[in-house]
Amino acid sequence: MKILLVDDEHDLVSPLAERLSLRDIDADWVSSGEDALKKLQDTSYDLAVLDMKMPHMGGLELREKIHAIDPKMKYIFMTGHGSAADFNVATSKDGADCYLVKPVNIALLIEKMNTILAD
């Protein structure tokens, strides 16, 4: 499983990638939507974990741009803002795969990744 983590919070995304790596999950991370799009030019991923709110390009906008590059990509969204109900309303037409609230529970994240990739 190859995962791309995208979050502007370095203190969250770097340790998260390291914790996934310790569990034999190949995880790259970047801190912006723009960097994610550059990374996707060279590397193929099974799943992207996207922060909903980032400067310049949030998770939903980034999902749209990634979809144009890789229509088979699966997604998990995470945020420290709002509620699951807010997220469901915002993404009901976007086909979002999963929503997690920060701080992300690593066991739950891995469970959701496995479930999404099994479909």
- pTM tops 0.85: yes
Task: Report pLDDT for 89.
Answer: 47
Q: Is 36 exposed, middle or buried (0-12, 13-18, 19+ CB in 10 A)?
A: buried
The count of domains in the chain is: 1
Taking only the tens place, the pLDDT of each residue in 18-41 is 999 999 999 999 999 999 999 999
**Average pLDDT value for residue range 84-102:** 60
Task: Report pLDDT for 92.
Answer: 45
- Cβ(90)–Cβ(61) under 8 Å? no
Q: Is 100 exposed, middle or buried (0-12, 13-18, 19+ CB in 10 A)?
A: middle
Q: How far apart are CA 116 and CA 1, in angstroms?
A: 11
**For residue 28, what is the domain's CATH number?**
3.40.50.2300
Give the max Cα distance, the chain.
Answer: 35
**Average pLDDT value for residue range 91-112:** 76
- Cβ(60)–Cβ(52) under 8 Å? yes
When pLDDT is cut at 50, 70 and 90, the band that residue 84 belongs to is low
* 56: containing domain: 2-118
Q: Is 115 exposed, middle or buried (0-12, 13-18, 19+ CB in 10 A)?
A: exposed
**Percent with pLDDT over 70 in the chain:** 86
